[in-house]
Structures are given as structure tokens and as C-alpha cells.
Amino acid sequence: MKIRFVALIVVLAIGLSACRSGSTSKKYFVAFSQCNNAEPYRAAQNQLMEKLFKEKGDVQLVIADGQQDNSKQIAQIETFIRQKPDLLIVAPNERTPLTDVMGRAIAAGIPVICLERDITQENYTTFIGADNLAIGKMAGQFMVDSLTHKFGKPRGKIVEMRGLLGVEAEMERYNGAHDVLKATPQIQVVHEAVADWLQDNARARMLEILRAQPEIDMVYGHNDPMGAGAYLAARELGREKQMQFIGVDGLGGTAGGIKKVMDGVLAATFYYPLCVDKAVEVGERILHDPAFHPDKKYTLQPKLITPENAGEMYGKLTF
Amino acid sequence: MMQLSPKLAKAQTGSAQSAGSEVSARPIRKRLQNIFGLFLVVVIALIASPHSPRGDLIFLEAGNITDVLRQVSEIGIISLGMTFVILTGGIDLSVGTVLALASSLVALVLTRAPLGMSSAMIVAAALFISVAAATLTGFTNGYIIARLRIQPFIVTLAMMIGVRGLARWLTSNTNIDIGFGMDAASVFARSFSTKTIVIGSYVLVAIALAAVLSKTVFGRYVRAVGDNEKAARYAGLPISRTKTLVYTMTGLLAGYAGVLHAAQNHQGNPNSGVAYELDAIAAVVIGGTSLMGGSGSISGTVVGTLIIGVLTNILRLNNVDSNVEMMIKATIILVAVWVQRAGKDAT
């Protein structure tokens, strides 16, 4: 038994010392607390951030994955605070739960960049976000234009695939579109399904909707995977040519929404900024210039992606 | 005739037995083994801890140690109840969703309480309603398991699903945020999220339950039921009552953990607590309690919880990738149980 214990100590000690990051050169230590690596949008953020900081060459970046769990993300930020990074970037899992711990980071003298999702109090050095309401409005306008083009006047039937209810992005993408659609009563939303951002859920919901609705002209997915899931369902029933599918996010890469526009699955997607390029730019200035005071808030604008500009955007957003 | 195990024989004689014989029955060696496991992990933590700019070990900073303790407290409190359940040879899969239910209820009451009630009354009502609801789910689990004789895995699996649905239904599947102002909800969140309350609760409950398990007749019944239920039945022990009580207590503790969860996250969240039951079971198992029931201890579970907490902390302080962290934890669970077995083989 003693031998087992000794073996255990040796193995663990070696393992842990091997895990410790080796280089201790004069690099800045940047900690990034990501809320959930499993989401494609978040994975793209991580990739872009790693790439951009690597290009700068003077930063050691560490990314922690909160696994969509507030308690986990809070614990990870608490640990980061102990490590006293030169810069802390947080993509909060949810607004209220993360507010307090980010305040503690500020209190510990760590500059904090709040990424993409706002928190309840201004416990950050700067907030870099994008405008979901603007995306919703853009999507609404695209649907009105496209249906007007199809029928010669603004009319038609829309199905909506909604994300997780109660999430701000979901509400704003919904409200923005409906703000625009209000003006055209001949355009009806005939069904709103909740598919929790997931492609497989959207496919299942859409199969049911297709059985119930003989006429559908447009499907608005609150993200690209849900748009694609609805497309798969329509194709299964041979009805994909009767309607258009649009999505939101416009990620690059083979699995992203831009590729789906290029492939003719989606008629359009709306690029929701990753916010990372701005964060790296502002972050670098915070690291190098103690006198620099960033704005309290930067809002980045979305962009419509159609087959015309999809190729160009694909090149820009694929890392 | 059926042979009575020593534990059962002792349970039968009840409290007449002195506490002294309890210690001799539980080999000191086994207790030392638990402590040794923790000692080992702390030594590793000291070796592997990164240094702060001033040259101190970050792991040993008071702030860091209390961070760890607070982070393990919720799972810690749940795992104490789970220890009793597992000692009876059962399992409780519903604790994670019961935590979510209690956290949702406490936030619901706090934010929707009628005007005119004083803050203290609102907080008291919120605490009572959420913990009582959680206790009721536990009682239901226990009652069905004990009286209808359905396997605990199935009963608590059903409860886990149903309670998740209930929590989502009550909240319309949205999170109920608690603000940062001066209202009752904010006062509650501020006071119940302090390290003193969170860690203090865990310590007090652990001490109390360790005493219940080792010093009371009920504690002996729990072991006896798990050790050999048939024999316990023939010996006339109150099996149904013991089981019902154990699950009720676990529900209550999961509910209280849910209250702490809501305070610390400033939010009642019907979708929280996912896989907490598995974390709690892992802590119990690492602490040397057998899933077959009958043998194990509260101190072991506390040590198991601390081992996971310290290890997670040290891996994160070293910026180990979270996927690697999961693989290392998996290894730790297996190795810990293997070492415990080695202890048993030797005796």
C-alpha cells in the first residue's frame, strides 16, 4: 500500500509541475474568462483572440471555460484575481450573477474588459458589445424587402425560430424584427417556435410546423444553426424551394453561417461582431499606455451578408 | 439462521452502547487514511502552487483558501446528505434539480413578495418556503422508496426530471434576478453570499451530521440498513422510517444549498445545478463511502470534497486547460477509490 501512495505522489507531482506554464519571460499575462467554449460563436471568439494576441507577441493568454455555468465562471474569475493578471477579459455567462465578481476584480486593481454581454453594474473598465436590436431590425427589413420582391407587394408568411427565451440576445433579435414588421400587416408571423439556438431542435420543430402550415415564405432563425435546421426539415419534405431561410451570427469557417450563404442554404445571414478585434486593440493600449483611458462603452455594428459579399466576408472571418 | 453483522448487533442494542466502542469499531487507521489523502493533495498543492509577485505561494493566501472553501460549500452540503443516502445503499439523483427549485423559489418569493411586508419577514418567508419545498421533495422520494419499494435510482431519477419541470414552470423558464439595491432580495443576497455564512453553514452542518452518524441510534440504523437490509428487517429496525428520514434530510440540505446558490449568483435559476448530483456522489465516493452501503463516514466525505476543491484550485492557478482538468479529475476519482480498496485489502 505504501508503494501505491508513493507512486501516486510522484506521478501527481510530476504531472502538475509539467502542467505549469514554463515561460516566465516578461510577457503580459492576459486572462480571458469565456462563458461557454461549446458555442460556435464563442469558439470563434477564442480562436480570433489567440490569433491576434499571438501576432502581437508580447502576451501570454490564458482562456478559462465557464461551461455555461455561472458558479463555475465566478470561481474561475476568483482564481484569476488571485493570479493578478495584467488584463482580465470576461465574456459573462449571464448579466447579474457575474456582476459582483467582476467588481471584485476591479477592486483588486485589475483592468477588466467586459465582452459582448453587459452586466448589471458598470464593474468594468470598458464594455465592448454589439447591437442585437440593430440586427433584428436589419433582419426585419431584409424580410420585408425580400417578400415585397417575391409578391410585388409586402405580404407573406414568416416562421420564426427563437433562441433560449429570456436571453437578451434572443429578445432583441425578436423585438428588432417585430419593430419593422409592425408596419406591414400583410406580412404575418404564422408560427414562433423555441429551438434554444440548436440546429437539431430547429429541425424537429420545423418538421411539425411544415405539417401544420401549408404556406411558408420565409424562416427567420435567430441564429444560423436554427436557420439551417429549418432548411434541413423543409428539404426532407421537398419544400425548401418554396421559402427562404435567414440566420444570424455569420461566422466564418466551414461550419459557419457564411458558408451556408455561399452554399445556398441561407438567403442571408447577419454578421454579429465577435468584438474580439476591438477588445485586443483596446486591451493592448491598456497594457502599454498607463495614461490611456478607454471609452466606457464601444458598440460595434452588424453587417448583412448575402451571396454577393459572402466570399469576401468568408475570407475575412475564417481563421 | 441469519448471521447478524457487528454493525447490526450494535444498532440493535441501541444507545446503550457507549460512544467509545464506536471509535474502536471504526479502525483509526481508516480515519487516518482519509486525512492522509487530504494531506497528500495539500502537499501537492504546495509543490505546484505558483508564486505571487512578492514570492508567496498563491495557494496559501487566506483569500485563496477561503475562495476554495466557499466554492466547495454548495456541493459539500449536498454531499453530506448524499453520504447518508449512500450509506443506506441508496442514491439520490434529484439533488441538483432540487437545488434549482429552491434557488428559483427563494428568488421568486423575494422579488414578488407583497408590498407592506418587512424585509426580515420577506427573507424569512422566502427561506422557509424554498427549504420546505425542497424538504417535501426529499420526503416524497423517501416515502416512495420505503413504502412502495421502488428502487431509489428510479424514484430519484423521476424526481429529478419532474422537479426540473416544476422549477421551469414556476419561473416560466426564465431566471429571476436579484438586484443590488436595498430591497429585501438584495439584503438577502448580500448577507447569504458572505464567506462567513457560506463556509460557516457547511462547517456547522458537517459537524452536526458527523455527530448524528456516529453518536445517535439513528446513525446506527442508517449503517445497519445499508449493511444488510434483510437482517435489519428481521431484527425489527425501523427501516422505512430510517430511509424516509434520510431522503427528507437530503432534500432539506439540497434546498439550503439552493438558497446559498441563489444568494451567491444573485439569481434564482431553474436551469442551474446540472450534474451537481454527480459531483456530490464523486465527493462521497472519493471520501471512501461504499456505493453498496453500510460503510463510510462524514469526515471522509468532507475530505473527498476538499480534495476535489483543492485540486481544481491548483489546476486553475496553473492555468491547466479545463478539458485536461476533467480528465485529471476522472483519474483522481478512480485512483482514490483504488487506494481505499488497497486499505481494505490490507485489513
pLDDT per residue as tens digits for the range A57-83: 999 999 999 998 999 999 999 999 999
Subunit contact B318:A100, Cβ cutoff 8 A: no
Task: Tell me the H-state helices in chain A.
Answer: 2-19, 40-56, 70-83, 95-107, 132-151, 168-181, 199-212, 224-236, 257-262, 276-288, 307-317
Angstroms from B271 CA to nearest CA on chain A = 10
Q: Which has the higher per-residue pLDDT, B319 or B228?
A: B228
Subunit contact A71:B272, Cβ cutoff 8 A: yes
pLDDT at B310 over 60: yes
**Contact (CB, 8 A) for A99 and A75:** no
Q: What is the mean pLDDT of chain A?
A: 91
Subunit contact A64:B322, Cβ cutoff 8 A: yes
- The reply to whether B52 touches chain A by the CB within 8 Å rule is yes
Q: What is the mean pLDDT of residues A150-175?
A: 92
3-state SS, residue B173: coil
Question: Any idea which fold B25-48+55-346 has?
Answer: ABC transporter involved in vitamin B12 uptake, BtuC (1.10.3470)
A94 — phi, psi (to 5°)?
-145, 155
| Partners of residue B191 in chain A, C-beta under 8 Å | none
Q: Where are the domains positioned within chain B?
A: 25-48+55-346
Q: In terms of C-beta density within 10 A (0-12 exposed, 13-18 middle, 19 or more buried), how is residue A223 classed?
A: buried
Structure confidence at residue B336 as a pLDDT band (50, 70, 90):
confident
Quote the pLDDT of residue A65.
Answer: 93
Quote the pLDDT of residue B18.
Answer: 40
pLDDT per residue as tens digits for the range A36-61: 988 888 999 999 999 999 999 999 99
Subunit contact A83:B266, Cβ cutoff 8 A: no
Q: What is the mean pLDDT of residues A169-173?
A: 92
For residue A213, is it left (φ>0), alpha (ψ between -120 and 50) or beta?
Answer: beta
Structure confidence at residue B343 as a pLDDT band (50, 70, 90):
low
Domains and CATH numbers, chain A: 27-124 (3.40.50.2300), 132-273+307-317 (3.40.50.2300)
- The reply to whether A148 touches chain B by the CB within 8 Å rule is no
Interface of B with A in 165-184 (CB under 8 A): 172-175, 177-180
ipTM at complex level: 0.74
First vs last C-alpha separation in chain A: 51
Report chain B's C-alpha Rg in angstroms. 21
- The reply to whether B186 touches chain A by the CB within 8 Å rule is no
- The reply to whether A67 touches chain B by the CB within 8 Å rule is yes
Residue with cell 424537429: A204
Angstrom distance (rounded) from CA B78 to CA B283:
10
Residue A38: closest C-alpha in chain B: B323
pLDDT at B306 over 70: yes
**Contact (CB, 8 A) for B178 and B110:** yes
Q: What is the mean pLDDT of residues B90-108?
A: 97
Structure confidence at residue B337 as a pLDDT band (50, 70, 90):
confident
Q: Which has the higher per-residue pLDDT, B1 or A22?
A: A22
C-alpha cell at A110: 485589475
Q: What is the mean pLDDT of residues A187-201?
A: 92
Q: Which of A64, A96, A100 sits opposite B316 (nearest CB)?
A: A64
Angstrom distance (rounded) from CA A13 to CA A167:
43
Count chain A–chain B contacts defined by CB atoms under 8 A.
114
pLDDT at A150 over 90: yes
Residue B60: closest C-alpha in chain A: A82
Q: What is the mean pLDDT of residues B333-347?
A: 72
- The reply to whether A96 touches chain B by the CB within 8 Å rule is yes
- The reply to whether B319 touches chain A by the CB within 8 Å rule is yes
Q: What is the mean pLDDT of residues A193-220?
A: 92
Quote the pLDDT of residue B16.
Answer: 40
Angstroms from B303 CA to nearest CA on chain A = 17
Quote the pLDDT of residue B29.
Answer: 66
For testing the chain A interface, which of B319, B328, B345 should be mutated: the one with the most A CBs within 10 Å?
Answer: B319
| Partners of residue A118 in chain B, C-beta under 8 Å | none
Q: Which has the higher per-residue pLDDT, B63 or B115?
A: B63
| Partners of residue B51 in chain A, C-beta under 8 Å | none
Quote the pLDDT of residue B284.
Answer: 95
pLDDT at B14 over 70: no
Q: What is the mean pLDDT of chain B?
A: 88
**Percent of chain A, pLDDT > 90?**
78
Burial A133-171 (b: 16+ CB within 10 A, else e): bbbbbbbbbbbbebbbeeeeebebbbbbbbbbeebebbb
pLDDT at A278 over 80: yes
| Partners of residue A95 in chain B, C-beta under 8 Å | 177
Residue A19: closest C-alpha in chain B: B320
pLDDT at A24 over 80: no
Q: Which of A262, A265, A274, A272 is nearest to A306 (CA)?
A: A262
Q: What is the mean pLDDT of residues B30-49?
A: 82
- The reply to whether A99 touches chain B by the CB within 8 Å rule is yes
Q: Which has the higher per-residue pLDDT, B79 or B19?
A: B79
Highest-pLDDT range among B84-98, B224-238, B283-297? B84-98
According to DSSP, residue A186 is labeled T
Quote the pLDDT of residue A222.
Answer: 96
Residue B39: closest C-alpha in chain A: A9
Subunit contact B50:A165, Cβ cutoff 8 A: no
Q: In terms of C-beta density within 10 A (0-12 exposed, 13-18 middle, 19 or more buried), how is residue B197 classed?
A: middle
Residue B75: closest C-alpha in chain A: A71
| Partners of residue A166 in chain B, C-beta under 8 Å | 173-175
